[in-house]
Structures are given as C-alpha cells and as structure tokens.
C-alpha cells in the first residue's frame, strides 16, 4: 500500500484518479479548492495551494510517498484572460511542490499537456523541443521546467484524456454527449488531430509508471491519432446517436480565444518501451466510457460535490 497525495481532486483527472487509486487499496488524500468532495472513500482536503506555507504544511501533515499534481488552470481560454493566475498556478506552484517534495524524498508526478507543441508536424517525441502557442501551453511548459529543475527524479506526464467529471462539462467527450442528448448539432474540427486516452486507462498508466519509478518526460496519450470530428462521430456511434449530429468544421473558422495546435499526435514509443506493453486501444477506452454512462457513473460523480 502506498500513500498518495492527489491535487486537483475535484477535477476531471484528479477525481477519477483519487477514486480509482483509493479503490486499488492505496491510501489517498485528495486536495480540492473551491469544490471540496463529500461522500468519497479517499480523505478529502480543502486547500488553496498557492497560499504561502500550504504545500509545506500538507506534506508535513500527510507525509505522502507519492504526489500526483493534477491541479491547474486547465481551461485554455480562461488562461488567455487570466495570464497572471495561469503563471502562478501552472508554472510556479508545480515548482514549489517539486522543491518541497524533493527535500522530503517524495516521488512527484507532474501532469502536463500535449499542447506544449505547436502542432505543425505531429508524431512528436519527448526529445523534440516544444513551442507552445497559448498562455495555457506556455505556463504548463513552465511548470514542467520548474519541476524538473527542482527535482530531476520527478515524472512529467504529457497527457490528453477524456472521461466523466463532477460538473458534467469538463471534457470534450461530455460536451459531445450532452449536446447529442439535447438533439443538438455540433461542430467537430477536422483539422485538429489528437490522441485521446480514456481517463481510467490514464490512471492505470500513471500507476504503472509510478510503480516502475519512471523519471523525466513521457507522453501518456492514446495510441491512435484522430481528428476532433472523428472523435465526436465515434462517441455518437457508441452512444446510439446519429453521427450526422457532428458536422465538419475548421478550427480556423474563429471564435476561440486561444490559439490551438493543429496536430497534437504524440509518439508513445518511449513509454511503451518502458512499460513493456502497448497502450489500450481507443475502442476499448470508449467502451469503458460508455459502460460508466450506462451504470450511472456521471450522476454518481455529480452527487459527490
């Protein structure tokens, strides 16, 4: 049994991670800020992590063996309007946690993003230089650098994932399902490529990476590249909605505040070599997402806040 501290435990990744890791009989302390969790098996803590002294106090009180730092300002367009907040939370906070973790010999995992690349070529390998296009992406890259400067033993996972969240609105997949259920037609970008991973597959991959004590930067995304349009159509098909509800559109048609990288397909060979196995296929992840829906998991999550 390992003692985990998971930040962002009210967020899309952090909550799914805290629930699943707790279910695997580890001890989990989950930190949320404005939306503390209730009726959860893990120990729920409310904290504003950027407040002076908070990180050191929590690490002293809890003494975790592993920190998985998921908390962030993760809304790409919000970061454009609040660049100072994005800098504080996405760049400086991870650095502070990394310093505090290193001095206490705590393993740190920093959750980063595929968006650190400009998306001009795709199939990026970890050794290639990122070139972020937005405030979000720049501040997340700053977070990676601050963590690895302070703590070279840390693991930085560049992720892209989907799943169910406490608000029902945090992931693109939820947005598609909500729109389809309301009978609405939505736009799916045909010119934005990514490699979505179901959040439960990401949870398993992160736990395995911790067990193997992986260090440095790893791409932790799904093994298959697709456009957002194809992703939307796949979800419609799986959930029994008319795939025509997703209409082809271009990201360059406007309306988005932050610049988006067009091709965020990432190469995962470094990860699969370290794990000694392939990553779960997209269809298997989508089936898990659908099974959770059929079993009322989205409603269960909403009842936890």
Ligand X SMILES: NC(=O)c1ccc[n+]([C@@H]2O[C@H](COP(=O)([O-])OP(=O)(O)OC[C@H]3O[C@@H](n4cnc5c(N)ncnc54)[C@H](OP(=O)(O)O)[C@@H]3O)[C@@H](O)[C@H]2O)c1
- Contacts with ligand X, residue ranges (CB under 6 A): 7-8, 10-14, 32-35, 47-50, 70-72, 74, 89, 111, 113-114, 140, 159-161, 165, 170-171
Smallest gap from residue 74 Cβ to ligand X (A): 4
Smallest gap from residue 77 Cβ to ligand X (A): 12
What is residue 300's DSSP assignment?
H
CA nearest 154: which of 66, 91, 61? Answer: 66
Q: Which is nearer to ligand X, 47 or 256 (by Cβ)?
A: 47
Q: Which is nearer to ligand X, 50 or 178 (by Cβ)?
A: 50
Q: Which is nearer to ligand X, 95 or 105 (by Cβ)?
A: 95
Q: Which is nearer to ligand X, 173 or 246 (by Cβ)?
A: 173
- Any alpha helices (H) in 188-227, and if so which ranges? 199-211
Smallest gap from residue 10 Cβ to ligand X (A): 4
Q: Which is nearer to ligand X, 73 or 105 (by Cβ)?
A: 73
3-state secondary structure (DSSP) of residue 282: helix
3-state secondary structure (DSSP) of residue 106: coil
Q: Which is nearer to ligand X, 74 or 246 (by Cβ)?
A: 74
Please give the residue whose beta carbon sits closest to ligand X in the complex: 11
Smallest gap from residue 39 Cβ to ligand X (A): 16
Whose tokens are 């259920």? That residue is 181
Cα–Cα distance measured from residue 115 to residue 159, given in angstroms and rounded to the nearest whole number: 9
Is there a contact between 155 and 106 (Cβ–Cβ < 8 Å)? Answer: no
Q: Which is nearer to ligand X, 125 or 185 (by Cβ)?
A: 125
Beta strands 43-46; 66-69: pairing state: unpaired
Q: Which is nearer to ligand X, 13 or 185 (by Cβ)?
A: 13
CA nearest 170: which of 279, 78, 40, 294? Answer: 78
Smallest gap from residue 196 Cβ to ligand X (A): 8
Smallest gap from residue 49 Cβ to ligand X (A): 4
Is there a contact between 165 and 13 (Cβ–Cβ < 8 Å)? Answer: no
56, 69, 98 from 103: Cα distances, Å: 10, 17, 9
Is there a contact between 133 and 77 (Cβ–Cβ < 8 Å)? Answer: no
First to last CA, the chain: 27
Q: What tokens were used for 177?
A: 């399902």
Q: What tokens were used for 241?
A: 């909605």
Smallest gap from residue 54 Cβ to ligand X (A): 8
Smallest gap from residue 130 Cβ to ligand X (A): 13
Q: What tokens were used for 251?
A: 């990201």
């Amino acid at each position: 049994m390992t003692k985990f501290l998971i930040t962002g435990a009210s967020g899309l990744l952090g909550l799914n991670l805290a629930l699943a890791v707790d279910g695997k009989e580890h001890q989990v302390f989950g930190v949320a800020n404005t939306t503390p969790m209730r009726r959860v098996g893990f120990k729920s803590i409310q904290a504003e992590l950027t407040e002076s002294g908070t990180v050191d106090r929590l690490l002293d009180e809890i003494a975790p063996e592993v920190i998985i730092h998921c908390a962030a300002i993760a809304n790409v367009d919000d970061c454009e309007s609040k660049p100072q907040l994005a800098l504080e939370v996405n760049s400086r906070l991870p650095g502070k946690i990394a310093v505090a973790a290193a001095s206490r010999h705590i393993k740190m995992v920093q959750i980063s993003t595929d968006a650190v690349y400009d998306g001009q070529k795709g199939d990026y390998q970890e050794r290639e230089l990122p070139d972020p296009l937005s405030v979000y992406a720049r501040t997340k890259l700053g977070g990676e650098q601050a963590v690895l400067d302070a703590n070279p033993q840390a693991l930085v996972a560049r992720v892209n994932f989907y799943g169910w969240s406490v608000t029902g609105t945090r992931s693109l997949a939820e947005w598609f399902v909500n729109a389809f259920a309301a009978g609405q037609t939505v736009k799916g970008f045909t010119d934005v490529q990514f490699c979505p991973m179901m959040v439960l597959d990401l949870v398993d991959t992160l736990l395995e990476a911790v067990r193997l004590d992986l260090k440095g930067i790893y791409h932790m995304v799904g093994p298959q590249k697709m456009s957002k349009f194809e992703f939307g159509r796949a979800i419609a098909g799986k959930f029994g909605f008319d795939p025509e509800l997703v209409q082809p559109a271009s990201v360059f048609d406007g309306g988005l505040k932050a610049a988006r990288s067009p091709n965020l397909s990432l190469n995962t060979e470094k990860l699969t070599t370290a794990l000694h196995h392939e990553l779960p296929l997209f269809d298997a992840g989508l089936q898990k997402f659908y099974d959770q829906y059929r079993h009322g998991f989205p409603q269960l999550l909403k009842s936890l806040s």
